[in-house]
Structure 1
Amino acid sequence: MSTPSPPLALVAGDGHRYELIARVPAAPRRSLLWLPALGVAARHYQPFAERLASQGIAVFLHEWRGIGSSALRAGRHVDWGYRELLGDIACSEAAMRTAVPDADRIVGGHSLGGQLACCHLACRPEAAQALWLVASGAPYWRAFSGPRALALPVLYRFMAWLSRVNGALPGRRLGFGGNEARGVVADWTRSGLSGRYRAAGLDLDLDTALHRVDVPVAAAVLADDWMAPASSLRYLLGKLATPAPTIASFDAQALGIAADHFAWMRQPDTIADWLAQR
Protein backbone atom coordinates (compact mmCIF):
# COMPACT_ATOMS: atom_id res chain seq x y z
CA MET A 1 0.00 0.00 0.00
CA SER A 2 1.06 3.60 -0.50
CA THR A 3 1.97 5.81 2.43
CA PRO A 4 -0.80 8.32 3.26
CA SER A 5 0.82 11.73 3.38
CA PRO A 6 -0.19 15.36 2.84
CA PRO A 7 0.52 16.85 -0.59
CA LEU A 8 3.94 18.40 -1.09
CA ALA A 9 3.77 22.20 -1.10
CA LEU A 10 5.93 23.46 -3.97
CA VAL A 11 7.05 26.85 -5.24
CA ALA A 12 8.18 27.13 -8.87
CA GLY A 13 11.02 29.38 -9.99
CA ASP A 14 8.73 32.34 -10.67
CA GLY A 15 6.93 32.04 -7.32
CA HIS A 16 3.95 29.97 -8.49
CA ARG A 17 2.63 27.92 -5.55
CA TYR A 18 0.87 24.57 -5.91
CA GLU A 19 0.69 21.10 -4.39
CA LEU A 20 2.08 17.80 -5.64
CA ILE A 21 0.01 14.75 -4.67
CA ALA A 22 2.22 11.76 -3.79
CA ARG A 23 1.40 8.08 -3.40
CA VAL A 24 4.55 6.32 -2.25
CA PRO A 25 4.75 2.58 -1.47
CA ALA A 26 7.02 1.25 1.28
CA ALA A 27 9.91 0.35 -1.03
CA PRO A 28 9.36 1.96 -4.45
CA ARG A 29 11.29 0.43 -7.33
CA ARG A 30 10.23 3.15 -9.78
CA SER A 31 8.78 6.65 -9.60
CA LEU A 32 6.32 8.27 -11.99
CA LEU A 33 5.66 11.96 -12.52
CA TRP A 34 2.15 12.08 -14.03
CA LEU A 35 0.87 15.09 -15.97
CA PRO A 36 -2.92 15.54 -16.28
CA ALA A 37 -5.04 16.38 -19.28
CA LEU A 38 -5.82 20.02 -20.03
CA GLY A 39 -8.21 21.42 -17.43
CA VAL A 40 -8.17 18.30 -15.21
CA ALA A 41 -7.13 18.64 -11.57
CA ALA A 42 -4.50 16.24 -10.24
CA ARG A 43 -6.83 14.74 -7.62
CA HIS A 44 -8.86 13.00 -10.34
CA TYR A 45 -5.94 10.64 -10.98
CA GLN A 46 -5.71 9.36 -7.42
CA PRO A 47 -7.29 5.93 -8.20
CA PHE A 48 -4.72 5.51 -10.99
CA ALA A 49 -1.92 6.48 -8.61
CA GLU A 50 -3.15 4.10 -5.89
CA ARG A 51 -3.24 1.19 -8.33
CA LEU A 52 0.31 1.84 -9.51
CA ALA A 53 1.53 2.38 -5.94
CA SER A 54 0.13 -1.05 -4.98
CA GLN A 55 2.59 -2.47 -7.53
CA GLY A 56 5.66 -0.73 -6.16
CA ILE A 57 5.60 2.48 -8.21
CA ALA A 58 5.72 5.82 -6.40
CA VAL A 59 3.38 8.22 -8.19
CA PHE A 60 3.48 12.01 -8.08
CA LEU A 61 0.48 13.81 -9.56
CA HIS A 62 1.43 17.17 -11.02
CA GLU A 63 -0.99 20.10 -10.82
CA TRP A 64 -1.37 22.41 -13.79
CA ARG A 65 -0.96 26.12 -13.23
CA GLY A 66 -4.41 27.70 -12.97
CA ILE A 67 -6.39 24.74 -11.64
CA GLY A 68 -6.92 22.76 -8.43
CA SER A 69 -4.31 23.56 -5.79
CA SER A 70 -2.58 26.17 -7.98
CA ALA A 71 -2.50 29.63 -6.42
CA LEU A 72 -3.05 31.23 -9.84
CA ARG A 73 -6.09 31.59 -12.06
CA ALA A 74 -5.88 32.70 -15.68
CA GLY A 75 -7.32 36.08 -16.58
CA ARG A 76 -6.77 39.24 -18.54
CA HIS A 77 -3.92 40.26 -16.22
CA VAL A 78 -2.62 36.77 -15.39
CA ASP A 79 -1.15 34.81 -18.28
CA TRP A 80 1.37 32.05 -19.00
CA GLY A 81 2.25 29.55 -21.71
CA TYR A 82 4.09 26.29 -22.26
CA ARG A 83 7.36 27.84 -21.06
CA GLU A 84 5.92 28.38 -17.58
CA LEU A 85 4.20 24.99 -17.57
CA LEU A 86 7.51 23.31 -18.39
CA GLY A 87 9.13 25.21 -15.51
CA ASP A 88 6.46 23.87 -13.14
CA ILE A 89 7.03 20.32 -14.41
CA ALA A 90 10.76 20.67 -13.70
CA CYS A 91 9.90 21.83 -10.17
CA SER A 92 7.72 18.73 -9.61
CA GLU A 93 10.40 16.47 -11.02
CA ALA A 94 12.97 17.89 -8.59
CA ALA A 95 10.58 17.26 -5.69
CA MET A 96 10.06 13.68 -6.86
CA ARG A 97 13.81 13.10 -7.04
CA THR A 98 14.19 14.35 -3.48
CA ALA A 99 11.33 12.20 -2.20
CA VAL A 100 12.49 8.94 -3.86
CA PRO A 101 16.11 9.50 -4.87
CA ASP A 102 16.99 5.88 -5.63
CA ALA A 103 14.06 4.92 -7.84
CA ASP A 104 14.18 4.77 -11.64
CA ARG A 105 12.21 7.69 -13.04
CA ILE A 106 9.28 7.69 -15.47
CA VAL A 107 7.46 10.73 -16.82
CA GLY A 108 4.05 10.38 -18.39
CA GLY A 109 0.74 11.97 -19.00
CA HIS A 110 -2.78 12.00 -20.29
CA SER A 111 -3.72 14.03 -23.40
CA LEU A 112 -1.88 17.40 -23.21
CA GLY A 113 0.03 15.94 -20.27
CA GLY A 114 1.54 13.33 -22.58
CA GLN A 115 2.58 15.99 -25.08
CA LEU A 116 4.28 18.07 -22.39
CA ALA A 117 5.89 14.95 -20.91
CA CYS A 118 7.59 14.57 -24.30
CA CYS A 119 8.55 18.26 -24.29
CA HIS A 120 9.91 17.94 -20.75
CA LEU A 121 12.24 15.19 -21.95
CA ALA A 122 13.21 17.38 -24.90
CA CYS A 123 14.26 20.08 -22.43
CA ARG A 124 15.80 17.70 -19.88
CA PRO A 125 16.89 14.42 -21.47
CA GLU A 126 18.13 13.13 -18.09
CA ALA A 127 14.71 13.67 -16.46
CA ALA A 128 13.43 10.10 -16.87
CA GLN A 129 14.35 6.68 -18.15
CA ALA A 130 10.93 5.93 -19.63
CA LEU A 131 7.84 7.67 -21.04
CA TRP A 132 4.22 6.58 -20.47
CA LEU A 133 1.30 8.00 -22.45
CA VAL A 134 -2.44 7.43 -22.09
CA ALA A 135 -4.98 8.85 -24.56
CA SER A 136 -2.40 11.27 -25.88
CA GLY A 137 -1.34 12.50 -29.28
CA ALA A 138 -0.41 15.62 -31.20
CA PRO A 139 -3.28 17.99 -32.00
CA TYR A 140 -1.95 18.62 -35.54
CA TRP A 141 -4.98 18.72 -37.80
CA ARG A 142 -3.36 16.63 -40.53
CA ALA A 143 -2.91 13.80 -38.00
CA PHE A 144 -6.70 13.38 -37.96
CA SER A 145 -9.01 12.12 -40.69
CA GLY A 146 -12.37 12.87 -42.25
CA PRO A 147 -14.49 15.98 -41.70
CA ARG A 148 -13.04 16.49 -38.22
CA ALA A 149 -9.60 17.14 -39.68
CA LEU A 150 -10.99 19.89 -41.91
CA ALA A 151 -12.86 21.48 -39.01
CA LEU A 152 -9.91 21.58 -36.61
CA PRO A 153 -8.03 24.58 -38.11
CA VAL A 154 -11.19 26.68 -37.83
CA LEU A 155 -11.71 25.53 -34.24
CA TYR A 156 -8.11 26.28 -33.28
CA ARG A 157 -8.21 29.78 -34.73
CA PHE A 158 -11.53 30.47 -33.01
CA MET A 159 -10.23 29.38 -29.59
CA ALA A 160 -7.06 31.44 -29.97
CA TRP A 161 -9.14 34.49 -30.94
CA LEU A 162 -11.62 33.96 -28.11
CA SER A 163 -8.86 33.61 -25.51
CA ARG A 164 -7.28 36.87 -26.72
CA VAL A 165 -10.45 38.94 -26.64
CA ASN A 166 -11.68 37.39 -23.40
CA GLY A 167 -8.31 37.46 -21.63
CA ALA A 168 -8.44 33.68 -21.14
CA LEU A 169 -10.25 30.76 -22.76
CA PRO A 170 -13.59 30.16 -20.97
CA GLY A 171 -13.15 26.42 -21.32
CA ARG A 172 -15.69 25.49 -18.67
CA ARG A 173 -18.42 27.23 -20.65
CA LEU A 174 -17.21 25.71 -23.91
CA GLY A 175 -16.94 22.21 -22.46
CA PHE A 176 -13.25 21.95 -23.37
CA GLY A 177 -10.50 22.14 -20.76
CA GLY A 178 -10.66 24.60 -17.90
CA ASN A 179 -10.40 28.35 -17.95
CA GLU A 180 -7.11 28.35 -19.80
CA ALA A 181 -4.44 31.04 -20.06
CA ARG A 182 -4.34 32.62 -23.50
CA GLY A 183 -0.60 31.88 -23.75
CA VAL A 184 -1.27 28.16 -23.29
CA VAL A 185 -4.00 28.31 -25.92
CA ALA A 186 -1.66 30.16 -28.30
CA ASP A 187 1.09 27.53 -27.89
CA TRP A 188 -1.39 24.68 -28.20
CA THR A 189 -3.13 26.04 -31.29
CA ARG A 190 0.24 26.71 -32.91
CA SER A 191 1.08 23.01 -32.64
CA GLY A 192 -2.40 22.13 -33.88
CA LEU A 193 -2.03 24.27 -36.99
CA SER A 194 1.64 23.73 -37.82
CA GLY A 195 2.41 20.31 -36.35
CA ARG A 196 5.45 21.76 -34.58
CA TYR A 197 6.02 22.35 -30.89
CA ARG A 198 7.21 25.73 -29.73
CA ALA A 199 6.96 27.48 -26.39
CA ALA A 200 6.85 31.27 -26.66
CA GLY A 201 9.83 32.75 -24.81
CA LEU A 202 11.70 29.46 -24.51
CA ASP A 203 15.25 29.48 -25.86
CA LEU A 204 15.01 25.98 -27.32
CA ASP A 205 13.66 24.55 -30.56
CA LEU A 206 11.38 21.94 -29.00
CA ASP A 207 10.71 20.13 -32.25
CA THR A 208 14.42 19.64 -32.93
CA ALA A 209 15.04 18.60 -29.32
CA LEU A 210 12.20 16.06 -29.45
CA HIS A 211 14.07 14.18 -32.16
CA ARG A 212 16.82 13.51 -29.62
CA VAL A 213 14.48 11.89 -27.06
CA ASP A 214 15.30 8.18 -26.98
CA VAL A 215 13.70 6.37 -24.04
CA PRO A 216 11.39 3.34 -23.90
CA VAL A 217 7.80 4.40 -24.56
CA ALA A 218 4.57 2.69 -23.51
CA ALA A 219 1.43 4.27 -24.96
CA ALA A 220 -2.22 3.31 -24.44
CA VAL A 221 -4.81 4.20 -27.08
CA LEU A 222 -8.54 4.20 -26.27
CA ALA A 223 -10.52 2.57 -29.06
CA ASP A 224 -13.31 5.17 -29.13
CA ASP A 225 -11.23 8.26 -28.37
CA TRP A 226 -11.80 10.81 -31.14
CA MET A 227 -9.71 13.42 -29.29
CA ALA A 228 -6.49 11.35 -29.40
CA PRO A 229 -6.85 8.69 -32.10
CA ALA A 230 -4.02 6.32 -32.95
CA SER A 231 -3.05 8.52 -35.90
CA SER A 232 -2.37 11.53 -33.65
CA LEU A 233 -0.36 9.34 -31.26
CA ARG A 234 1.75 8.05 -34.16
CA TYR A 235 2.41 11.62 -35.28
CA LEU A 236 3.57 12.57 -31.78
CA LEU A 237 5.77 9.47 -31.40
CA GLY A 238 7.21 10.11 -34.86
CA LYS A 239 8.93 13.16 -33.42
CA LEU A 240 10.95 11.02 -30.99
CA ALA A 241 14.10 8.99 -31.58
CA THR A 242 12.65 5.93 -29.82
CA PRO A 243 12.79 3.21 -32.50
CA ALA A 244 10.02 0.86 -31.32
CA PRO A 245 7.48 2.31 -28.89
CA THR A 246 5.09 -0.17 -27.27
CA ILE A 247 1.51 0.71 -28.19
CA ALA A 248 -1.67 -1.05 -27.05
CA SER A 249 -5.31 -0.30 -27.83
CA PHE A 250 -7.99 -0.80 -25.19
CA ASP A 251 -11.69 -1.21 -25.94
CA ALA A 252 -14.68 -0.96 -23.63
CA GLN A 253 -14.71 -4.69 -22.98
CA ALA A 254 -11.10 -4.64 -21.77
CA LEU A 255 -11.62 -1.54 -19.63
CA GLY A 256 -15.04 -2.36 -18.21
CA ILE A 257 -16.07 1.20 -19.05
CA ALA A 258 -16.38 3.38 -22.16
CA ALA A 259 -13.12 3.52 -24.14
CA ASP A 260 -13.19 7.28 -24.60
CA HIS A 261 -10.83 10.10 -23.66
CA PHE A 262 -11.80 10.42 -19.99
CA ALA A 263 -13.83 7.43 -18.76
CA TRP A 264 -10.74 5.27 -18.10
CA MET A 265 -9.85 7.59 -15.19
CA ARG A 266 -12.84 6.25 -13.25
CA GLN A 267 -11.74 2.64 -13.78
CA PRO A 268 -7.99 2.83 -14.37
CA ASP A 269 -6.93 -0.63 -13.18
CA THR A 270 -6.55 -2.26 -16.61
CA ILE A 271 -4.36 0.51 -17.99
CA ALA A 272 -2.41 0.91 -14.74
CA ASP A 273 -1.69 -2.82 -14.66
CA TRP A 274 -0.54 -2.81 -18.29
CA LEU A 275 1.81 0.12 -17.67
CA ALA A 276 3.21 -1.44 -14.48
CA GLN A 277 4.29 -4.47 -16.53
CA ARG A 278 6.34 -2.41 -18.99
Structure 2
Amino acid sequence: MMRPLVVPVQADDGHRFELIGRVPAQPRAQLLWLPALGVSARNYQPFADALAARGISVFLHEWRGNGSSSLRPSREQDWGYREILEQDLPASLAALRLHGNVPLIIGGHSLGGQLACVFGGLHPGVFARFWLVATGTPYWRSFPARRGWTLPLVYRFLPWLAQRQGVLHGRRLGFGGTEARGVIRDWARVGLNNHYAAVGVQADLEGGMRRLRGHADAVVLADDWLAPPGSMQGLLSKLPQVTSTLSIVPADTLGTQADHFAWMKAPEAVVKALFHSFE
Protein backbone atom coordinates (compact mmCIF):
# COMPACT_ATOMS: atom_id res chain seq x y z
CA MET A 1 0.00 0.00 0.00
CA MET A 2 1.18 3.48 -0.87
CA ARG A 3 -0.38 6.57 0.69
CA PRO A 4 -0.52 9.81 -1.35
CA LEU A 5 -0.14 13.00 0.66
CA VAL A 6 -0.36 16.72 0.05
CA VAL A 7 1.39 18.53 2.88
CA PRO A 8 0.81 22.30 3.28
CA VAL A 9 4.04 24.14 4.13
CA GLN A 10 4.69 27.73 5.16
CA ALA A 11 8.15 29.28 5.27
CA ASP A 12 9.11 31.78 7.96
CA ASP A 13 8.63 34.68 5.56
CA GLY A 14 5.03 33.68 4.84
CA HIS A 15 5.60 31.89 1.53
CA ARG A 16 3.14 29.00 1.20
CA PHE A 17 3.42 25.88 -0.94
CA GLU A 18 2.69 22.15 -0.87
CA LEU A 19 4.83 19.05 -0.64
CA ILE A 20 3.53 16.16 -2.71
CA GLY A 21 4.19 12.94 -0.81
CA ARG A 22 4.22 9.25 -1.64
CA VAL A 23 4.54 7.14 1.51
CA PRO A 24 4.77 3.33 1.46
CA ALA A 25 3.41 1.26 4.35
CA GLN A 26 6.90 0.48 5.72
CA PRO A 27 9.34 3.09 4.45
CA ARG A 28 13.05 2.31 4.42
CA ALA A 29 14.10 5.94 3.93
CA GLN A 30 12.70 9.38 3.16
CA LEU A 31 13.68 11.40 0.12
CA LEU A 32 13.35 15.17 -0.21
CA TRP A 33 13.37 15.76 -3.97
CA LEU A 34 14.14 19.13 -5.59
CA PRO A 35 12.89 19.79 -9.14
CA ALA A 36 14.65 21.27 -12.14
CA LEU A 37 14.41 25.00 -12.78
CA GLY A 38 10.91 25.92 -13.89
CA VAL A 39 9.47 22.42 -13.35
CA SER A 40 6.54 21.92 -10.96
CA ALA A 41 6.65 19.19 -8.35
CA ARG A 42 3.64 17.36 -9.84
CA ASN A 43 5.72 16.42 -12.90
CA TYR A 44 7.76 14.02 -10.75
CA GLN A 45 4.82 11.92 -9.56
CA PRO A 46 5.69 8.91 -11.78
CA PHE A 47 9.21 9.02 -10.34
CA ALA A 48 7.85 9.26 -6.79
CA ASP A 49 5.48 6.33 -7.40
CA ALA A 50 8.33 4.17 -8.71
CA LEU A 51 10.45 4.94 -5.64
CA ALA A 52 7.55 4.37 -3.24
CA ALA A 53 7.05 0.94 -4.80
CA ARG A 54 10.61 0.16 -3.62
CA GLY A 55 9.96 1.37 -0.09
CA ILE A 56 11.12 4.99 -0.24
CA SER A 57 8.93 7.79 1.11
CA VAL A 58 9.19 10.65 -1.37
CA PHE A 59 8.35 14.30 -0.74
CA LEU A 60 8.44 16.53 -3.81
CA HIS A 61 9.48 20.09 -2.99
CA GLU A 62 7.91 22.99 -4.88
CA TRP A 63 10.11 25.85 -6.03
CA ARG A 64 9.14 29.34 -4.98
CA GLY A 65 7.20 30.79 -7.91
CA ASN A 66 6.07 27.46 -9.42
CA GLY A 67 3.03 25.21 -9.15
CA SER A 68 1.46 25.36 -5.69
CA SER A 69 3.67 28.29 -4.58
CA SER A 70 1.76 31.32 -3.31
CA LEU A 71 4.24 33.63 -5.08
CA ARG A 72 5.01 34.45 -8.68
CA PRO A 73 8.12 36.33 -9.77
CA SER A 74 7.67 39.88 -11.00
CA ARG A 75 9.48 43.19 -10.98
CA GLU A 76 8.17 43.65 -7.41
CA GLN A 77 8.60 40.03 -6.24
CA ASP A 78 12.17 38.81 -6.53
CA TRP A 79 14.28 36.22 -4.75
CA GLY A 80 17.43 34.18 -5.17
CA TYR A 81 19.19 31.19 -3.68
CA ARG A 82 19.07 32.78 -0.21
CA GLU A 83 15.30 32.45 0.09
CA ILE A 84 15.37 28.90 -1.25
CA LEU A 85 18.19 27.75 1.06
CA GLU A 86 17.26 29.68 4.21
CA GLN A 87 13.44 29.79 4.01
CA ASP A 88 11.84 27.20 1.74
CA LEU A 89 14.02 24.12 2.08
CA PRO A 90 14.20 24.26 5.89
CA ALA A 91 10.37 24.44 5.93
CA SER A 92 10.13 21.40 3.67
CA LEU A 93 12.63 19.49 5.77
CA ALA A 94 10.70 20.26 8.96
CA ALA A 95 7.44 19.09 7.34
CA LEU A 96 9.03 15.90 6.06
CA ARG A 97 10.33 15.01 9.51
CA LEU A 98 6.75 14.92 10.83
CA HIS A 99 6.02 11.95 8.56
CA GLY A 100 8.51 9.33 9.66
CA ASN A 101 11.76 8.59 11.47
CA VAL A 102 13.93 6.79 8.93
CA PRO A 103 17.23 7.77 7.23
CA LEU A 104 17.00 10.89 5.10
CA ILE A 105 18.05 11.25 1.47
CA ILE A 106 18.13 14.50 -0.46
CA GLY A 107 18.29 14.69 -4.20
CA GLY A 108 17.26 16.56 -7.25
CA HIS A 109 17.17 17.09 -10.97
CA SER A 110 19.27 19.76 -12.71
CA LEU A 111 19.27 22.89 -10.50
CA GLY A 112 17.60 20.75 -7.84
CA GLY A 113 20.59 18.43 -7.68
CA GLN A 114 22.96 21.35 -7.27
CA LEU A 115 20.97 22.93 -4.48
CA ALA A 116 20.47 19.54 -2.81
CA CYS A 117 24.25 19.37 -2.37
CA VAL A 118 24.46 22.99 -1.22
CA PHE A 119 21.62 22.54 1.27
CA GLY A 120 23.18 19.32 2.53
CA GLY A 121 26.36 21.26 3.20
CA LEU A 122 24.39 23.73 5.31
CA HIS A 123 22.98 20.83 7.35
CA PRO A 124 25.87 18.37 7.84
CA GLY A 125 24.96 14.98 9.21
CA VAL A 126 21.26 15.27 8.33
CA PHE A 127 21.30 13.40 5.01
CA ALA A 128 22.86 9.97 4.61
CA ARG A 129 22.68 9.89 0.81
CA PHE A 130 22.44 12.19 -2.19
CA TRP A 131 20.48 11.16 -5.30
CA LEU A 132 21.48 13.27 -8.27
CA VAL A 133 19.83 12.96 -11.69
CA ALA A 134 20.70 14.93 -14.84
CA THR A 135 22.53 17.58 -12.87
CA GLY A 136 25.97 19.05 -12.38
CA THR A 137 27.79 22.31 -12.00
CA PRO A 138 26.89 24.85 -14.70
CA TYR A 139 30.54 25.94 -14.85
CA TRP A 140 31.35 26.50 -18.51
CA ARG A 141 34.67 24.65 -18.44
CA SER A 142 32.91 21.41 -17.39
CA PHE A 143 31.08 21.24 -20.74
CA PRO A 144 32.42 19.93 -24.07
CA ALA A 145 34.60 22.54 -25.75
CA ARG A 146 32.43 24.16 -28.42
CA ARG A 147 29.33 24.33 -26.27
CA GLY A 148 31.33 25.39 -23.24
CA TRP A 149 32.86 28.32 -25.11
CA THR A 150 29.42 29.83 -25.72
CA LEU A 151 28.23 29.55 -22.11
CA PRO A 152 29.99 32.64 -20.65
CA LEU A 153 27.97 34.73 -23.11
CA VAL A 154 24.78 33.02 -21.93
CA TYR A 155 25.69 33.56 -18.26
CA ARG A 156 26.13 37.28 -18.88
CA PHE A 157 23.16 37.77 -21.18
CA LEU A 158 20.42 36.02 -19.19
CA PRO A 159 20.89 37.99 -15.93
CA TRP A 160 20.99 41.21 -17.97
CA LEU A 161 17.77 40.21 -19.75
CA ALA A 162 16.05 39.24 -16.48
CA GLN A 163 17.05 42.53 -14.90
CA ARG A 164 15.77 44.47 -17.88
CA GLN A 165 12.43 42.61 -18.03
CA GLY A 166 11.92 42.20 -14.27
CA VAL A 167 11.85 38.39 -14.67
CA LEU A 168 13.32 35.89 -17.11
CA HIS A 169 10.63 34.66 -19.50
CA GLY A 170 12.34 31.33 -19.79
CA ARG A 171 9.69 29.44 -21.72
CA ARG A 172 10.15 31.81 -24.64
CA LEU A 173 13.83 30.90 -24.63
CA GLY A 174 13.38 27.18 -24.01
CA PHE A 175 15.05 27.44 -20.60
CA GLY A 176 13.07 27.14 -17.37
CA GLY A 177 9.80 28.92 -16.73
CA THR A 178 9.14 32.47 -15.58
CA GLU A 179 12.12 32.89 -13.29
CA ALA A 180 13.04 35.41 -10.60
CA ARG A 181 15.97 37.52 -11.68
CA GLY A 182 17.79 36.78 -8.40
CA VAL A 183 17.75 33.05 -9.11
CA ILE A 184 19.17 33.63 -12.58
CA ARG A 185 21.83 35.95 -11.15
CA ASP A 186 22.99 33.39 -8.57
CA TRP A 187 22.90 30.51 -11.09
CA ALA A 188 24.86 32.44 -13.72
CA ARG A 189 27.56 33.42 -11.24
CA VAL A 190 28.29 29.75 -10.58
CA GLY A 191 28.38 29.14 -14.32
CA LEU A 192 31.08 31.78 -14.72
CA ASN A 193 33.33 31.06 -11.74
CA ASN A 194 32.38 27.56 -10.45
CA HIS A 195 31.94 28.93 -6.93
CA TYR A 196 28.65 28.43 -5.09
CA ALA A 197 27.62 31.57 -3.27
CA ALA A 198 24.44 33.64 -3.08
CA VAL A 199 23.58 37.26 -2.45
CA GLY A 200 22.72 37.66 1.22
CA VAL A 201 24.04 34.24 2.32
CA GLN A 202 26.88 34.56 4.81
CA ALA A 203 27.67 30.84 5.07
CA ASP A 204 30.55 29.31 3.13
CA LEU A 205 28.57 27.13 0.72
CA GLU A 206 31.64 25.60 -0.91
CA GLY A 207 33.15 24.78 2.48
CA GLY A 208 29.92 23.13 3.60
CA MET A 209 29.95 20.82 0.60
CA ARG A 210 33.60 19.94 1.15
CA ARG A 211 32.78 18.81 4.69
CA LEU A 212 29.85 16.58 3.70
CA ARG A 213 30.04 12.83 4.25
CA GLY A 214 27.84 10.04 2.95
CA HIS A 215 27.20 8.50 -0.44
CA ALA A 216 26.03 10.01 -3.72
CA ASP A 217 24.30 8.07 -6.48
CA ALA A 218 24.62 10.12 -9.67
CA VAL A 219 22.78 9.43 -12.93
CA VAL A 220 23.60 11.07 -16.26
CA LEU A 221 21.39 10.63 -19.33
CA ALA A 222 23.57 9.68 -22.30
CA ASP A 223 22.28 12.35 -24.71
CA ASP A 224 21.71 15.16 -22.21
CA TRP A 225 23.60 18.21 -23.48
CA LEU A 226 22.33 20.31 -20.56
CA ALA A 227 24.04 18.07 -17.97
CA PRO A 228 26.90 16.09 -19.56
CA PRO A 229 29.17 13.75 -17.57
CA GLY A 230 31.81 16.46 -17.06
CA SER A 231 29.25 18.70 -15.40
CA MET A 232 28.18 15.95 -13.00
CA GLN A 233 31.79 15.06 -12.25
CA GLY A 234 32.47 18.72 -11.54
CA LEU A 235 29.66 18.77 -8.98
CA LEU A 236 30.82 15.52 -7.36
CA SER A 237 34.35 16.92 -7.08
CA LYS A 238 32.95 19.51 -4.69
CA LEU A 239 32.03 16.64 -2.31
CA PRO A 240 35.50 15.12 -1.72
CA GLN A 241 34.47 13.17 1.40
CA VAL A 242 31.32 11.74 -0.19
CA THR A 243 31.76 8.39 -1.92
CA SER A 244 29.92 8.25 -5.22
CA THR A 245 28.76 6.03 -8.06
CA LEU A 246 28.10 7.48 -11.51
CA SER A 247 25.78 5.76 -13.99
CA ILE A 248 25.28 6.85 -17.60
CA VAL A 249 21.90 5.67 -18.87
CA PRO A 250 21.43 5.30 -22.66
CA ALA A 251 18.17 5.58 -24.56
CA ASP A 252 17.76 1.84 -25.13
CA THR A 253 17.93 1.20 -21.38
CA LEU A 254 15.65 4.11 -20.59
CA GLY A 255 13.05 3.15 -23.18
CA THR A 256 12.75 6.78 -24.30
CA GLN A 257 15.03 9.64 -25.29
CA ALA A 258 18.02 9.94 -22.98
CA ASP A 259 17.70 13.72 -22.70
CA HIS A 260 17.22 16.12 -19.82
CA PHE A 261 13.48 15.60 -19.31
CA ALA A 262 12.07 12.49 -21.04
CA TRP A 263 13.10 10.18 -18.17
CA MET A 264 10.51 11.84 -15.90
CA LYS A 265 7.69 9.96 -17.69
CA ALA A 266 9.65 6.69 -17.87
CA PRO A 267 11.69 6.70 -14.65
CA GLU A 268 12.27 2.97 -14.02
CA ALA A 269 15.82 2.82 -15.41
CA VAL A 270 16.79 5.93 -13.44
CA VAL A 271 15.29 4.46 -10.26
CA LYS A 272 17.19 1.22 -10.84
CA ALA A 273 20.45 3.16 -11.22
CA LEU A 274 19.82 5.09 -8.00
CA PHE A 275 19.29 1.80 -6.17
CA HIS A 276 22.47 0.25 -7.54
CA SER A 277 24.40 0.80 -4.31
CA PHE A 278 21.42 1.28 -1.99
CA GLU A 279 20.49 -2.37 -1.93
| TM-score calculated relative to the size of structure 2 | 0.97
User: Are 2:107 and 1:95 aligned?
Assistant: no
Aligned residues: percent identity? Answer: 53
Per-residue deviation, 1:208: 1.8
Amino acid in structure 1 at the alignment position of 2:238: K
* Contact 1:79–1:182 (Cα < 8 Å) also in 2: yes
For 1:99, what is the secondary structure of its paired residue?
Answer: coil
* Contact 1:55–1:276 (Cα < 8 Å) also in 2: no
1:162 counterpart residue number: 161
Distance between the aligned counterparts of 2:165 and 2:152, measured in 1? Answer: 20
Distance between the aligned counterparts of 1:47 and 1:253, measured in 2? Answer: 19
Distance between the aligned counterparts of 2:267 and 2:246, measured in 1? Answer: 17
Per-residue deviation, 1:103: 0.9
1:222 counterpart residue number: 221
For 1:90, what is the secondary structure of its paired residue?
Answer: helix
1:75 counterpart residue number: 74
* Contact 2:247–2:273 (Cα < 8 Å) also in 1: no
Amino acid in structure 2 at the alignment position of 1:91: A
1:134 counterpart residue number: 133
* Contact 1:216–1:245 (Cα < 8 Å) also in 2: yes
Per-residue deviation, 1:50: 0.4
* Contact 2:23–2:57 (Cα < 8 Å) also in 1: yes
2:118 counterpart residue number: 119
Moved more, 257-266 or 208-217: 208-217
Distance between the aligned counterparts of 2:185 and 2:14, measured in 1? Answer: 23
Distance between the aligned counterparts of 2:3 and 2:148, measured in 1? Answer: 45
Distance between the aligned counterparts of 2:178 and 2:46, measured in 1? Answer: 25
* Contact 1:217–1:242 (Cα < 8 Å) also in 2: no
1:202 counterpart residue number: 201
Superposed CA deviations along residues 19-73 of structure 1, whole A, max 9, x for unmatched, are 0000000111100000000000000000000010011100000000000000100
1:249 counterpart residue number: 248
Amino acid in structure 2 at the alignment position of 1:19: E
| TM-score calculated relative to the size of structure 1 | 0.97
Distance between the aligned counterparts of 2:128 and 2:32, measured in 1? Answer: 12
Superposed CA deviations along residues 104-161 of structure 1, whole A, max 9, x for unmatched, are 1000000000000000011111331110100000000011122111100001111010
Distance between the aligned counterparts of 1:265 and 1:245, measured in 2? Answer: 22
Superposed CA deviations along residues 164-223 of structure 1, whole A, max 9, x for unmatched, are 011111111111001110100000000000100001101111112211112101000110
Distance between the aligned counterparts of 1:12 and 1:19, measured in 2? Answer: 11
User: Are 2:152 and 1:153 aligned?
Assistant: yes
* Contact 2:32–2:106 (Cα < 8 Å) also in 1: yes
2:211 counterpart residue number: 212
Amino acid in structure 2 at the alignment position of 1:191: V
For 1:247, what is the secondary structure of its paired residue?
Answer: strand
Ranges of 4+ aligned residues in structure 1 off by more than 2 Å: 241-244
Task: Name the Cα RMSD after superposition.
Answer: 1.0
Moved more, 198-207 or 111-120: 198-207
Which runs of 5 or more residues in structure 1 are unaligned?
none
1:174 counterpart residue number: 173
1:109 counterpart residue number: 108
Distance between the aligned counterparts of 2:46 and 2:189, measured in 1? Answer: 33
1:3 counterpart residue number: 3
Distance between the aligned counterparts of 1:200 and 1:72, measured in 2? Answer: 20
For 2:211, what is the secondary structure of its paired residue?
Answer: coil
Amino acid in structure 1 at the alignment position of 2:96: M
